[in-house]
A and B are shown apart, each in its own frame.
Chain A
């Protein structure tokens, strides 16, 4: 394979990594506009010069959906931005979303050859650039669907796994219907991820592109209640079902004071702001209450989203309380960094033990105890141990718990024969097939809480498996439904 870039590898290595243009931290911490503007054409053209165009591009193996990264970068080198985004779209139908929310630093960029001695190529920013370029210049052309198939497939949930599965099946010619319980499309991309990380016009655009493939999306339809899975098969005539209902049920710490006014799950807090636009009350009817001081409990991306949202709503003090140290935080480094820039106060090695209230049953503070790190636990992270006598109260008026979610149980409870783990996740095999014939599952419903891109990989894997399943049914062959072997888990 010839190199597109005439520059010698040694010269390429000398070039510095390009960075996104970002809103000033002080200004952005008071608005809901996107934090990062990404890279512009000039920066993107400089950045692609750095790619070594490796003979064996290892970056591709770091991508959960195996995007041909080298090829798309070579398209950019040739200034064919639409060619680049179409190359990405062969593997990933939602590039504008992944270019924004994917943890590239622990995937493709982590194993980029250039990154061994220098900084890796900014693959994620390039992905976002070509997706945004195509949108801004209105250059999207839906892929040609070569054949049409009779079978109807139901997708339950319009989050990243469901939308990806829907797109892949539609491209294969199936009649696909997506059922969404809420009034808007996107699942966690809509209710969970804030607008300052994923603007709603981007999400709306990606959803429109799914529809452009002929996919039907029915909102306000809670499968399990509005119709059961069995009814989808028997009465609606679907031949296969993909479950991508996510992990939407919040968990609470179980400490005293959680029923006080002013205590939210991160899900509720973010849903009010993101889905219902409570930040624009009273122009929008949904209210939200937040005090001058807000405490968010947790160290993951959801906690970062909640605490940065609190700051934007107007909290003067926005604390993030986490029981381990910064190093153990599961959140993306970029999110932690952005939060620090925006003036979020990190209260580390600290564990809440009680929420205290004023006479009106409103939160007035959170009692915490200091922690120190002991021996590693089963997750390999050092286990936090309380320091005796270290209890103290942080005065806050709002407490938001972001300590994790679990799958919503409605479908599992209303569908016979669906194996469910102790953690409430649906058990799947290596091709995302569940214990019931014709039913596949993926994303957080099967994983219990992972990333957008892993959910998308599951959706893609399931689409191939559904295709094979329906082909085998159609040809009257005895279909081999593999036994569920183990629960896929992702830390």
Chain B
């Protein structure tokens, strides 16, 4: 059992959790993730490790309510326990001093980008960060990213905050701006990562993306997270989750990630009905 020590909302659909998991806290590296199960009947889902505190034996996760499991997770609060948390999983991000790098986060992907950005800064890079989202409400960790970046840029699709437009608009300006950016780390929704990959390919700038494929065990056992990298089959859970963006078949992964949309809808509807009943019973 894995107790939740602290929980706060970063936005109405975004929650930050600090969870007791001492073994994982000791070994976490940037780029690692965990597989968790909220309750006995739950599914196993992968979530990126945002931070850890080995001294206190805790890990930090940031969760956006999208599917049933993440919606359920957001109803949990400090004192509740999670049935299972396994990790740290995945290969850690290769961190090196490139000189100047750009870190690009989209939506909740910014949470996954934070530990990598911090490590890149500590490795001596000049770090240009871009944080983007659909609207102001979904911009997260702006302050945290600001503190560990040499410069931070914010974009929103609707222009409610920062620059109106996409992260790629800002990234293009940075690459063309003569800052000597040698590498790009981009984490966010698949269409965003695909757009970043297409952009940086034109400039020949090395780019890493983190692929959020569907996983069951997260240990290389099921092959559900298989992705095509440079024509080769790879498992995102053990070979990744980070890959050279210019070699990823994004369209295939976008299609594969739609496999369960109809069943996910059934799960969500059922969950929301249960929540309504629960509220009625409580009031």
Contacts and interface: CB of A to CB of B under 8 A. Distances in A.
Interface of A: 181-183, 191, 219-222, 225-227, 248-250, 252, 254, 258-259, 261-262, 264-265, 267-268, 271-272, 276-277, 281-287, 289, 361, 408-410
A261 B258 CA distance: 8
Interface stretch (B10-18, B130-138, B222-230): B222-230
A160 B264 CA distance: 35
Interface size class of B (residues with CB under 8 A): 35 or more
B221 A183 contact: no
Contacts of A221: 23, 86
Interface in B46-86: 68-69, 83-86
Contacts of B216: 268, 271-272, 276, 286
A181 B219 contact: yes
Contacts of A220: 84-86
A248 B263 contact: no
B220 interface: yes
Nearest to B269: A282
B243 to A, nearest CB: 15
Given A248-B220, A261-B256, A287 B226 contact: no
Q: Kindly name the residue among A252, A281, A282, A361 whose own CB sees the greatest number of chain B CB atoms within 10 A.
A: A282
Contacts of A264: 224
Interface stretch (B37-45, B160-168, B175-183, B184-192): B37-45
Interface in B68-112: 68-69, 83-89
A147 B85 CA distance: 36
Contacts of B224: 264-265, 268
Contacts of B259: 261-262, 289
Nearest to A408: B220
A361 B37 CA distance: 29
B172 interface: no
Q: Kindly name the residue among A222, A227, A250, A258 whose own CB sees the greatest number of chain B CB atoms within 10 A.
A: A222
B221 to A, nearest CB: 4
Contacts of B267: 281-282, 285, 287
Nearest to B39: A285
Given A226-B27, A276-B216, A361-B255, A267 B221 contact: yes
Contact of A285 (B41, B87, B88, B217): B41
Given A226-B24, A272-B216, A289-B260, 12 more contacts: A183-B37, A219-B84, A222-B87, A226-B23, A250-B223, A252-B223, A277-B41, A281-B267, A285-B68, A285-B69, A286-B43, A409-B238
Contact of B87 (A226, A271, A361): A226
Contacts of A409: 220, 238
Nearest to A277: B41
B84 A183 contact: yes
Contacts of A222: 86-87, 89, 219
A183 B86 contact: yes
A249 B221 CA distance: 5
B41 A225 contact: no
B282 interface: no
Contacts of B222: 250, 265, 267-268, 271-272
8 contacts: A181-B86, A183-B44, A183-B84, A252-B223, A271-B217, A277-B41, A287-B260, A409-B220
Contacts of B249: 259
A285 B260 CA distance: 12
A291 B4 CA distance: 40
A283 B263 CA distance: 12
B233 interface: yes
B207 to A, nearest CB: 22
Contacts of A271: 216-217, 221-222
Q: Kindly name the residue among B85, B86, B233 whose own CB sees the greatest number of chain A CB atoms within 10 A.
A: B86
Interface string B242-280: 000000010010011011100110110010000000000
Q: Kindly name the residue among B221, B258, B267 whose own CB sees the greatest number of chain A CB atoms within 10 A.
A: B221
Contacts of B264: 287
Given A271-B217, A286-B43, A286-B44, A265 B86 contact: no
A258 B256 contact: no
Contacts of B86: 181-183, 220-222, 226
B25 to A, nearest CB: 11
Contacts of B219: 181-182, 222, 248, 408, 410
A24 B224 CA distance: 34
Nearest to A192: B221
Q: Kindly name the residue among A181, A221, A284 whose own CB sees the greatest number of chain B CB atoms within 10 A.
A: A181
B217 A181 contact: yes
Q: Kindly name the residue among B222, B259, B260 whose own CB sees the greatest number of chain A CB atoms within 10 A.
A: B222
B209 to A, nearest CB: 18
A258 B41 CA distance: 30
Contacts of B89: 222, 225
Nearest to B42: A285
Contacts of A287: 43, 260, 263-264, 267
A170 B260 CA distance: 44
Contact of A182 (B69, B217, B238, B252): B217
- Name the 4 nearest CB pairs between A and B, nearest first: A268-B222, A287-B263, A220-B86, A285-B43
A280 to B, nearest CB: 8
A276 B263 CA distance: 15
A282 B270 contact: yes
Given A268-B224, A287-B260, A361-B255, A225 B217 contact: no
